[in-house]
Amino acid sequence: DIQMTQSPSSLSASVGDRVIVTCRAGQSIYTYLNWYQQKPGKAPELLIYAASTLQNGVPSRFSGSGSGTNFTLTISSLQPEDFATYYCQQSYSSPPYTFGQGTKVKIK
Amino acid sequence: QVTLRESGPALVKPTQTLTLTCTFSGFSLTTSGMCVSWIRQPPGKALEWLARIKWDDDKHYSTSLKTRLTISKDTSKNQVVLTLTNMDPADTATYYCARMGHYYDSNGYRRYYFDYWGQGTLVTVSS
């Protein structure tokens, strides 16, 4: 199974900050990488697929980049509703569809 | 409008078999390319993919759990069923079903993502 490692595990940021979450794959997954946002007590929601394609309805302050083994999720200007946990997930070696361990974005 | 809803017992005893049902609407599992997966999340922990069933009845399972998992579908009822045998307290988690959307890569292969999720059902394993 392909291992997905996110960093940091958690971060504290203020409204308006630029936030970057990193995801590393255990082998090249080209651009077959998806990002999800999960708020407490809720199901995850798809933000980005194919490393950089925004899902319909997702605000443009979210963006994704990367290829091979290194990927980033960027929130250009953090909003109050963006405090959540973010997960990456690979769709290269599929199945199994492995997730990262999550990055919790907290209020500073 | 796509919706999914998980149902099943909230509490199971160790060694018992868990059976969960995902009832969905807004799409059909007879449509080419359509898939449904089960994913779980222990309290305070990360997401773990469990199993997937495709429109053509192709099935895949988590490497670590494949001896205990069975996934099946009933297209007439728009349902996907997951069974997990020999339950253990470590299996305590919220269990989600999710529809799998897809796009085509440069080689024409489908690449999947989880685009619609149920609200999840918490299953606790305790005697």
Q: Is B106 near chain A, with CB under 8 Å?
A: no
Smallest CA–CA distance, residue B14 to chain A, in Å, is 25
Does the beta carbon of A97 lie under 8 angstroms from any beta carbon of chain B?
yes
**Cβ–Cβ gap A34/B114 under 8 Å:** yes
Contact predicate A62/A75, CB 8 Å? yes
pLDDT truncated to tens, each residue of chain B (127 aa)? 999 999 999 999 999 999 999 999 999 999 999 999 999 999 999 999 999 999 999 999 999 999 999 999 999 999 999 999 999 999 999 999 999 999 999 999 999 999 999 999 999 999 9
> Which residue numbers in chain A have pLDDT < 70?
none
Residue B39 to chain A, least CA–CA distance (Å): 10
Residue type at A81 in one-letter notation: E
Strand partners, A33: A90
Token match 């990360």: residue?
A: B46
Q: Residue A90 is which amino acid? A: Q
Between chains, do B47 and A55 touch, taking CB under 8 Å as contact? no
- Beta pairing partners, B114: B100
Strands B18-25 and B79-84, bridge-based pairing: antiparallel
Distances (CA, A) of A23 to A2, A91, B68, B87: 12, 14, 30, 32
- Look at A50 and B48 and tell me if their CB atoms are within 8 Å: no
